[in-house]
Amino acid sequence: MLIDQIIGVGEIAIADHRGSQLSVHELARVAAECRVGGMLSGKAGIVFVHVGDGKGGLNLLHQVAEQTDIPLTQFYPTHINRSQQLLEQGFAFAKAGAMIDFTASTNQACLDSGEVAVVDAVQQAINANVPLRQISLSSDGNASLPVFNDRGELTGLEMGTVASLYQSLCQLVAAGMNLAEVLPLVTSNAARTLKLTQKGQLAVGMDADMVLTTPDMVIDKVWSQGLLLVDQGQAVRYSQFERC
Ligand SMILES: [Zn+2]
């Protein structure tokens, strides 16, 4: 409540053997504290949820909503494109009025193990009549991505890239989707849900975060809060450690 930069809790893991195996009651308590903190401070108070590939999927979130007075909209689950089964659970979750988030960064091992590529996941959502305003994309940048050999043994870790988010947007457009319709997936949808009132739109009084591209979506200029960071495709401004 008292620290501006803290707007909720996350990522809390469910349906994952690496997670802390929260009970319905424990998760409800976290969500309740988040909800009240958000209400009193005017923040989103959202619980951002990492959904693993465990058998429960989103069930725990539904159980909280059924057994308590916490609404589903208190939760913002991510990695929903992890598998076809979870994707379909996510569509039902979104149709109940809540937000879902797809992860853009991936590697071949993840796709081979059943992850649904973002373009396919968004197309399926459209076909299933899930409103696009209830979907966001995030990069999960710098998260580890496992690499397996032919025998299924873990041989290394790759890193998810921040750039995967923009690459996914370009892939959606290349697949024939309308830029104006899919742009909110990486801009205003998350900003609205997280109550980041300065972000997500170009309007008077908002932070001037802008990307200017060529017609074929090659990045030309990037501004962050009005400062030019990239010009003619080249970084022109660095933070303290980025030149190291
Ligand atoms: Zn995660």
Question: pLDDT tens digits for 104-149?
Answer: 999 888 898 899 999 999 999 999 999 999 999 999 988 888 888 8
Indicate whether 181 and 241 sit together in one domain. Answer: no
CATH number at residue 128: 3.20.20.140
Q: What is the pLDDT of residues 141-188, one digit of tens each?
A: 888 888 888 887 889 899 999 999 999 999 999 999 999 999 999 999
Indicate whether 196 and 214 sit together in one domain. Answer: no
Q: For position 152, what pLDDT does the model report?
A: 77
Q: Tell me, yes or no, whether 139 lies in a domain.
A: yes
Q: Tell me, yes or no, whether 3 lies in a domain.
A: no
Q: For position 48, what pLDDT does the model report?
A: 98
Indicate whether 183 and 216 sit together in one domain. Answer: no
CA of 140 to the centre of ligand 1 (A): 7
Q: Tell me, yes or no, whether 63 lies in a domain.
A: yes
Indicate whether 113 and 228 sit together in one domain. Answer: no
Indicate whether 116 and 13 sit together in one domain. Answer: yes
CA of 53 to the centre of ligand 1 (A): 11
Residues 6+ apart with CB under 8 A from 91: 100, 124, 125, 128, 130
Q: For position 144, what pLDDT does the model report?
A: 87
Q: What is the pLDDT of residues 2-61, one digit of tens each?
A: 999 999 999 999 999 889 999 999 999 999 999 999 999 999 999 999 999 998 999 999
> For 30-51, b where at least 16 C-beta lie within 10 A, e where not — what string?
bbbebbebbeeeebbbbbbbbb
Q: For position 148, what pLDDT does the model report?
A: 80
Indicate whether 147 and 228 sit together in one domain. Answer: no
Number of domains the chain is built from: 2
Q: Tell me, yes or no, whether 43 lies in a domain.
A: yes
CA of 51 to the centre of ligand 1 (A): 7
Structure tokens at 107: 């590697």
Structure tokens at 132: 């696009």
Indicate whether 156 and 218 sit together in one domain. Answer: no
CA of 49 to the centre of ligand 1 (A): 8
What is the mean predicted confidence (pLDDT) over 69-80?
98
Asked if 140 is an active-site residue, the reply is yes
Q: Tell me, yes or no, whether 38 lies in a domain.
A: yes
Indicate whether 114 and 187 sit together in one domain. Answer: yes
Structural domain boundaries enclosing 226: 208-244
CA of 20 to the centre of ligand 1 (A): 13
Q: Tell me, yes or no, whether 121 lies in a domain.
A: yes
DSSP 1: -
Q: Tell me, yes or no, whether 123 lies in a domain.
A: yes
CA of 235 to the centre of ligand 1 (A): 29
Nearest residue to 137 (alpha-carbon basis) of 53, 78, 96, 92: 78
Beta strand 75-78 with 46-51: parallel, antiparallel or unpaired? parallel
Indicate whether 149 and 227 sit together in one domain. Answer: no
CA of 9 to the centre of ligand 1 (A): 13
Indicate whether 112 and 165 sit together in one domain. Answer: yes
Q: Which of 101, 140, 216, 220 is catalytic?
A: 140
- Of the two residues 137 and 241, the one the predictor is more confident about is 137
Q: State CA 70 to chain mean position distance.
A: 22
Q: For position 153, what pLDDT does the model report?
A: 85
What is the mean predicted confidence (pLDDT) over 89-101?
97
Indicate whether 213 and 192 sit together in one domain. Answer: no
Q: Tell me, yes or no, whether 103 lies in a domain.
A: yes
pLDDT confidence of 244, banded at 50, 70, 90?
low
Indicate whether 195 and 244 sit together in one domain. Answer: no
Nearest residue to 168 (alpha-carbon basis) of 115, 128, 131, 208: 115
Structure tokens at 71: 């609404």
